[in-house]
Chains A and B, each alone.
Chain A
Amino acid sequence: MLDDETAFLGRDKCAVAGIGQTAFARDSGRSVLSLATEAALKALEDAGLTVDDVDGIVRADVDTVTPYSLAAALGVNNLSYWGDTGPGGVAPCMMMGLAIGAILSGQAKTVIAFRSLNGRSEARLGGSGQRVGAETVGGFGTYDEYYLPYGLLSAGQTFALMAQRHMLEYGTTAEQLGAVALACREHANLTPHAQMQSKPLTMDEYLSARMISTPLRLFDFCLESDGACAVVITTAERARDLRKPSVLISGVAGGAPPDRRAGMMFPVVTRQDMTDLGGRRAGETLWKRAGLGPSEIDIAQLYDCFTISVILQLEAYGFCAKGEGGPFAASGAIRRDGSLPINTGGGHLSEGYVHGMNHIVQAVRQLRGEADMQIAGAETCLVTGGPLPVGSSVVFRKAS
């Protein structure tokens, strides 16, 4: 963590100038490169820029589309910076950091950040059918050999264990998890492109849905989606002169939990406090870098791979005390008329699962004032990345 808040050189120096996305679907019928190309072209068009302006491309480590392939497909002739970050859903917030670093150090002027996946039709992230036929699993520094052979196979089962600990230690209830699912669904119902736009969800339906991995039920799980999102980042000064209102990147921070464990997702079960997220440390750094705190955040897009991850992040980022995430969610605070509307397009639970990137697109829409379910007067937005094994976060701010 930085001791001196002024040590961060990036506050409000760069902006998102353009956003783009494809449709979100169960089967896109297209390649991930085609999806990425469409999202990137729409983001450039939105910014009033062309492929000739692009000199940097950043992506998530798990994307199968490389920066070079996307540049080739777009016709980018001046690619001089690229990078990837992660792991997985942690990437989109950290991509903002890569872009800022490249731009402020003079390595790039206009950076595209993207995520593209056929997460339902081609490469399901939930574990279904994975690793069948593999000779052995784990090894090579993954430590998966301690987990997969037992049948601990997926993120959902891992978050189920975290949810159970939260229930045991703090009394968190199924209805409180359900409040997260319902809030996201209500927001999706008001968002035409959301995959669950036409499907309302009641608490009775939430509670009576089938159990997947106790205590998590069907609607505690996010969607599996095909789709792509892209954003264009440039200097705040240049963004001011472009087509759309500027949305500044006020701060970016990643964070690892104090109880560090090697490996990817599964070793969280060995942390002495299984529900303490790296996001807590990310938040502590983020607020210093952005120059504001949780009480000054108008809306938030919290990484909702599962309902429990929202509750844990409400605590980690300081919107409520540890253990009070359930009651906070159930209070209505996270709904559109609450004190901290979250996932204002429906989030991963109900809009679509583009591995965190749709949260950044939604943040920009809200701060421009052009969202489908617009939160009046929203000027600041927190976006968080995937909660395991480390956390990542960004504060976006409407340019004055």
Chain B
Amino acid sequence: MTIHPLFPNVTDRETHEFFEAAAEGRLVFRACNACDHALHPPTAHCPYCGAWDTAWRNAEGTGRLHAWTTVTHQIHPAFPAPYTLVVVELDDAPEVRLIGHMDGTPPLVADMPMEVWFQALPNGPTLPQWRPAA
């Protein structure tokens, strides 16, 4: 049996642009046009100023490593252990943190610079991923 990875729903009305941008090699986040506050997870309404005027913005694709965990107990066939989940805080918008998947047990240090790369899943959508900055 072929084990398919867990494909994200890329048609959600609130988040589909994130995956569409990733397929084009761009990292985006939602922000409020009225008060400039980043909104993540993205919402159509800005809870900080009350505006409905929110839009997707391009991110530089760099960030800092905020936290990580190495999963040593496998619970899903598509994710063989060990692997490491990283939580990266965007340099452009510290209010936004995104997840990345790294194979094995890479050497990591808190606050180290990270950079985005784009993983096209076979026969599936593209995920922004993260690795230590070159």
State the A residues within 8 Å of B (CB). Answer: 126-132, 134-141, 143, 145-154, 157, 160-161, 164-165, 168, 210-216, 260-263, 267, 269-270, 272, 274
B99 touches A147 (CB 8 A): yes
B71 touches A149 (CB 8 A): no
Q: How large is the interface on B (under 10, 10 to 19, 20 to 34, 35 or more residues)?
A: 35 or more
| Residue in A closest to B19 when the chains form the complex, CB atoms | A145
A164 touches B41 (CB 8 A): no
Taking the complex as formed, is B15 at the interface, i.e. its CB lies under 8 A from any CB of chain A? yes
Interface centre among B9, B100, B121, B127, by most chain A C-beta atoms within 10 angstroms, is: B9
Taking the complex as formed, is B8 at the interface, i.e. its CB lies under 8 A from any CB of chain A? yes
A210–B72 CA distance with the chains assembled, in angstroms: 9
Q: Mark B19-43, 1 if CB is under 8 A from A, else 0.
A: 1000000000000000000001101
**Nearest CB in chain A: distance from B65 CB, A:** 11
A139–B6 CA distance with the chains assembled, in angstroms: 13
Taking the complex as formed, is B98 at the interface, i.e. its CB lies under 8 A from any CB of chain A? yes
B85 touches A157 (CB 8 A): yes
A263–B72 CA distance with the chains assembled, in angstroms: 26
Given contacts A157-B85, A262-B41, A267-B41, contact A148 B72 (CB under 8 A): no
Given A132-B77, A151-B83, A216-B69, 5 additional A-B pairs, CB 8 A = A143-B41, A152-B99, A154-B75, A164-B69, A213-B69
B67 touches A165 (CB 8 A): yes
Question: With a CB–CB cut-off of 8 A, which chain A residues contact B41?
Answer: 143, 146, 261-263, 267, 270
Residues of B42-93 at the interface with A, using a CB-CB cut-off of 8 Å, are 43, 47, 66-73, 75-79, 83, 85, 87
13 pairs across A/B with beta carbons < 8 Å? A126-B75, A129-B76, A132-B78, A136-B7, A136-B10, A137-B7, A137-B9, A145-B8, A148-B6, A153-B76, A210-B72, A215-B69, A262-B43
Partner of A272, one of B10, B12, B95, B100: B95
Partner of A153, one of B43, B79, B98: B79
Taking the complex as formed, is B104 at the interface, i.e. its CB lies under 8 A from any CB of chain A? no
B72 touches A274 (CB 8 A): no
Question: With a CB–CB cut-off of 8 A, which chain B residues contact A132?
Answer: 3, 76-78
A157 touches B69 (CB 8 A): yes
B8 touches A161 (CB 8 A): no
Partner of A212, one of B14, B73, B94: B73
A261–B97 CA distance with the chains assembled, in angstroms: 12
B12 touches A139 (CB 8 A): yes
Interface centre among B85, B87, B100, by most chain A C-beta atoms within 10 angstroms, is: B85
Cβ-Cβ contact count across A and B, 8 Å cutoff: 138
Question: With a CB–CB cut-off of 8 A, which chain B residues contact A145?
Answer: 8-10, 12, 15, 19
Interface centre among A131, A146, A150, A214, by most chain B C-beta atoms within 10 angstroms, is: A150
Interface centre among B11, B66, B69, B70, by most chain A C-beta atoms within 10 angstroms, is: B69
A151 touches B85 (CB 8 A): yes
A232–B68 CA distance with the chains assembled, in angstroms: 43
A149 touches B7 (CB 8 A): yes
Question: With a CB–CB cut-off of 8 A, which chain B residues contact A126?
Answer: 75
**Nearest CB in chain A: distance from B102 CB, A:** 10
A212–B85 CA distance with the chains assembled, in angstroms: 13
Which 10 A-B pairs rank lowest in CB-CB distance, beginning with the nearest?
A: A139-B9, A145-B8, A139-B12, A151-B79, A160-B69, A143-B41, A212-B73, A136-B9, A150-B101, A150-B99
A161 touches B67 (CB 8 A): yes
Given contacts A149-B127, A214-B72, A270-B40, contact A131 B67 (CB under 8 A): no
**Nearest CB in chain A: distance from B1 CB, A:** 10
Partner of A149, one of B6, B12, B77: B6
A190–B67 CA distance with the chains assembled, in angstroms: 38
A141 touches B6 (CB 8 A): no
Partner of A150, one of B18, B70, B96, B100: B100
A288–B58 CA distance with the chains assembled, in angstroms: 46
Question: With a CB–CB cut-off of 8 A, which chain A residues contact B5?
Answer: 149
A226–B121 CA distance with the chains assembled, in angstroms: 38
A213–B75 CA distance with the chains assembled, in angstroms: 11
Question: With a CB–CB cut-off of 8 A, which chain B residues contact A212?
Answer: 71-73
Interface centre among B19, B41, B97, by most chain A C-beta atoms within 10 angstroms, is: B41
**Nearest CB in chain B: distance from A344 CB, A:** 29
Given contacts A137-B6, A146-B41, contact A161 B87 (CB under 8 A): yes
Partner of A146, one of B3, B72, B76, B99: B99
B85 touches A152 (CB 8 A): yes
Question: With a CB–CB cut-off of 8 A, which chain B residues contact A147?
Answer: 99
**Nearest CB in chain A: distance from B12 CB, A:** 4
